[in-house]
């Protein structure tokens, strides 16, 4: 999954959806609110080693990614 065999990678799956009832309660969201969900799985080589499901209200957070770009060798 990465050029460095010892590197950990963590691809994200990001989507917007209505939160589950328990998530809405925990986040104090009114009915009809949307949340951003991030499903992240950390890999060592090709083996998954940890997963995280992150739920954030769309009106309270901003999601920023740094994407490394490699030049030609």
Please give the residue range of the domain that contains residue 25: 8-57
Q: Which residue has the higher pLDDT, 68 or 12?
A: 12
Statement: the pTM of the whole predicted model exceeds 0.85: no
67 part of a folded domain = no
Q: Which residue has the higher pLDDT, 18 or 43?
A: 18
Q: Is the distance from CB of 9 to CB of 1 less than 8 angstroms?
A: yes
34 part of a folded domain = yes
46 part of a folded domain = yes
pLDDT digits (tens, 9 = 90+) for 26-66: 999 998 999 999 999 988 888 888 999 999 999 988 888 88
73 part of a folded domain = no
How far is Cα 6 from Cα 4, in angstroms, rounded to an integer?
5
47 part of a folded domain = yes
Count of structural domains, the chain: 1
Q: Is the distance from CB of 11 to CB of 38 less than 8 angstroms?
A: no
């Amino acid at each position: 999954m990465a050029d460095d065999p010892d590197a950990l990678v963590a691809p994200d799956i990001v989507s917007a959806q209505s939160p589950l009832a328990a998530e809405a309660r925990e986040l104090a969201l009114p009915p009809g609110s949307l949340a951003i969900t991030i499903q992240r799985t950390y890999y060592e080589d090709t083996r998954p080693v940890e997963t995280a499901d992150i739920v954030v209200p769309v009106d309270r957070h901003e999601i920023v990614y740094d994407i490394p770009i490699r030049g030609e060798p």
